[in-house]
């Protein structure tokens, strides 16, 4: 059976997925509010301790930055679930807590919600790339680029840029501006988030000072954003992933084959809100994060998905391009093989 036939078989074999996920799509009010409590309170306590630790040792401050970043990542998962309308039954409650957690994570709620909805609707679709995803081009598209654009793509896909510099720029700078094609709701979301951040820092900065803020908060943001982008990257760019042109693209296959089951140690799974069960999340984004593991464990159809381990995920660091002929993510070294195929190396 070839790859395309296997992808079609996935759709046929899992035709009952809607019934399988239905019971997990109802939020539990107590669990949702408990997650807000056990995520936000420890986060702000750790920030306070980091400020106080400056009087002892900056190494202690940096050590505290790691658990603080973990709680910030967990807060972003709450924000993320609110954006899917899965954290509360009430649309107003999702919007309220989405805005609050959006301010904490420097992310305008309605603006991000729209982009992320597009990502879910177009993930692994070669003809609908460009919004809410990690920019990925095919081998043939890369070969057709002029040298300067090839260089730009290589710089963007460099791990230092993608996982360290890029995340800070996106969350702290890019999210401060709406795109030209943004609607009124998205523009207002950016505006209100920016105003809330200005008000917050008008209070905080005079109390602790700009230098203290930079020494405390920037390391936390850097760690949390870098981990978040890494998770998002591995969830869609892994060995054996799925990409297809729109006419052959299938939602179920894109979810189960184009989104990874990233198996993390329990402590990291907790801090990342079970987002490693990304195959289930893409299949049914209305499932709150605290039900994803249960859904996986109680349904054999999801357990058939081969997990990606931390060690295995490191292979993703070399992936740069999608080879349509090989149907695989490849690195730049693969271009030497392609160069031996004149019809492709000519672009």
What tens digit of pLDDT does each residue of 172-230 get?
Answer: 999 999 988 899 999 999 999 999 999 999 999 999 999 999 999 999 999 999 999 99
Q: Would the pTM count as exceeding 0.85?
A: yes
Burial 121-143 (b: 16+ CB within 10 A, else e): ebbbbbebbeebbbebbbbbebb
Residue 62 pLDDT greater than 50, yes or no:
yes
What tens digit of pLDDT does each residue of 276-307 get?
Answer: 999 999 999 999 999 999 999 999 989 889 99
Measured from the Cβ of residue 274, the count of other Cβ atoms closer than 10 Å reads 22
What Rg value do the Cα atoms of the chain yield, rounded?
21
Backbone angles phi, psi at 277, to 5 degrees: -80, 55
CB of 274 closer than 8 Å to CB of 293:
yes
Name the nearest CA neighbour of 197 among 185, 205, 187: 205
Percentage of the residues of the chain whose pLDDT score is greater than 70: 93
- Alpha-carbon distance 35 to 32, whole Å? 5
- Alpha-carbon distance 143 to 146, whole Å? 8
Mean pLDDT for the chain overall: 93
> Looking at residues 29-57, what average pLDDT do you find?
98
Instruction: For the chain, list the strands marked E by DSSP.
Output: 137-138, 321-323, 328-330
What tens digit of pLDDT does each residue of 115-137 get?
Answer: 999 999 999 999 999 888 999 99
Backbone angles phi, psi at 266, to 5 degrees: -55, -40
- Six token digits for residue 220: 């936390």
- Alpha-carbon distance 295 to 302, whole Å? 8
What tens digit of pLDDT does each residue of 5-29 get?
Answer: 455 545 545 568 888 999 999 999 9
Report in angstroms the alpha-carbon separations of 307 from 184, 262, 301, 302, 304.
41, 6, 13, 10, 9
């Amino acid at each position: 059976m070839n790859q395309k036939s296997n992808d079609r078989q996935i759709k046929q074999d899992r035709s009952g997925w809607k019934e399988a996920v239905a019971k997990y799509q109802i939020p539990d009010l107590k669990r949702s509010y408990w997650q807000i409590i056990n995520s936000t309170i420890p986060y702000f306590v750790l920030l306070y301790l980091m400020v106080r630790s400056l009087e002892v040792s900056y190494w202690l401050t940096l050590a505290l930055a790691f658990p603080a970043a973990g709680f910030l990542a967990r807060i972003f998962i709450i924000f993320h679930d609110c954006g899917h309308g899965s954290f509360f039954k009430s649309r107003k409650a999702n919007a309220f807590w989405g805005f609050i957690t959006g301010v904490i994570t420097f992310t305008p709620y309605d603006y991000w919600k729209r982009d992320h909805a597009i990502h879910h609707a177009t993930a692994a679709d070669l003809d609908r790339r460009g919004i809410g995803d990690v920019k990925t081009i095919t081998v043939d598209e890369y070969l057709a680029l002029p040298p300067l654009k090839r260089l730009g793509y290589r710089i963007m896909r460099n791990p230092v840029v993608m996982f360290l510099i890029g995340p800070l720029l996106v969350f702290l700078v890019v999210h401060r501006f709406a795109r030209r094609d943004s609607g009124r709701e998205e523009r207002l979301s950016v505006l209100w988030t920016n105003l809330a951040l200005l008000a917050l820092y008008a209070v905080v900065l005079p109390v602790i000072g700009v230098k203290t803020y930079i020494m405390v908060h920037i390391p936390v943001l850097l760690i949390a954003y870098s981990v978040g982008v890494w998770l998002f990257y591995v969830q869609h760019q892994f060995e054996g992933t799925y990409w297809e042109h729109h006419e052959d693209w299938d939602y179920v296959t894109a979810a189960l084959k184009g989104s990874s089951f990233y198996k993390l140690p329990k402590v990291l799974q907790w801090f990342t809100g079970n987002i490693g069960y990304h195959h289930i999340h893409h299949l049914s984004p209305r499932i709150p994060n605290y039900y994803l593991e249960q859904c996986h464990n109680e349904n054999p159809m999801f357990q058939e998905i081969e997990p990606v381990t931390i060690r295995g995920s490191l292979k993703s660091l070399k992936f740069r391009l999608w080879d349509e002929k090989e149907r695989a993510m490849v690195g730049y070294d693969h271009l030497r093989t392609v160069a031996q195929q004149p019809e492709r190396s000519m672009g």
